[in-house]
Amino acid sequence: VNITATNTSIRLNWGSLSYCSGCSPGNVIRTYVVCLQVNTCQNTTQNTLLFTGLPSNTVYNLELYVVNSAGSSSSLFRSVST
């Protein structure tokens, strides 16, 4: 996962994933859920997401969930500052 932060934005790019750790074998990835802090989550089928209009000098917790066709998911957690 690549994370780029500016004073007011955070961009995540995680490339194409063909599996998720902890998910059942054979279940293809259907969607990604990206959460900024706990209360701001977005679903996407793309491999990149941009959060804009963020206050500067703030630490954000990011979680990327990979959800497969069976509804199972795994996640990756990172902290980043603007």
Segment 40-71, tens digit of pLDDT: 888 888 888 899 999 999 999 998 888 877 77
pLDDT number for residue 16: 65
pLDDT number for residue 55: 92
* Per-residue pLDDT band at 22 (split at 50, 70, 90): low
pTM: 0.76
Q: Could you tell me the end-to-end alpha-carbon distance of the chain, in angstroms, rounded to an integer?
A: 17
| Cross-strand partners of 44 | 32
Measure the CA–CA gap between 68 and 32, rounded to whole angstroms: 9
In 1-82, alpha helices (H): none
Segment 8-18, tens digit of pLDDT: 999 998 876 65
